[in-house]
Amino acid sequence: MIKETAIEGMREGQTGKCDATFERHWAAHRQRIWQFIVRMGCSRDAADDLSQEICIRAFRAFPEFRGQSSFSTWLYRIAVNAVIRYRETLKHNTFPLHSASVERLPEEPSFGPEARMLADSVRPVVWQAIERLPEDLRATLVLQVYEGLKYREIAEVLNISLDLVKYRRHQAMLRLREELKDYEM
């Protein structure tokens, strides 16, 4: 996870209410941002590095944050852009989701041992299918299903229209349904 001293190291010569406000907001969101990065197909090590980068970028940009969107929406936009830049530097269309990374993601609630066992067996298959989605569809799906953002928030994060968000979400679900149709659940 991100080092607690990261913000301290950035603020040389800077003090005040803005720093404390940013620290409070970052503390409330950093775990979700890290999980988002992993869900977008990055390794745990890459998520650690990207979380640091996102923290630094957000800290530097925070004085210009006007509050026209929520802090989380603004932060997710920075995170999406950082993941896209990272992926472009590696010159790959998809990233392998290592089963260890997927297995260590926080568990979705279950209703008993049978449901947990089913979820444990299905999760890697679903994540592999999500991994194969084009990046724009994957980002939309992850933000909506796993991060819990509303369509309007996703539109703000990705800087696209609400109709395009709905279209991408629909296309992602169609593709997943097609890929998973032969898998018995």
Q: pLDDT value at position 97?
A: 45
Contact 73, 157 (CB under 8 A): yes
- Fold (CATH) for 5-180: Arc Repressor Mutant, subunit A (1.10.10)
User: Is-above-0.85 flag for pTM?
Assistant: no
In angstroms, rounded to a whole number, what is the distance separating the alpha carbons of residues 80 and 110? Answer: 29
User: Average pLDDT of the chain?
Assistant: 80
pLDDT at residue 146 above 70? yes
Contact 96, 143 (CB under 8 A): no
pLDDT, mean of residues 141-153: 92
pLDDT, mean of residues 48-52: 94
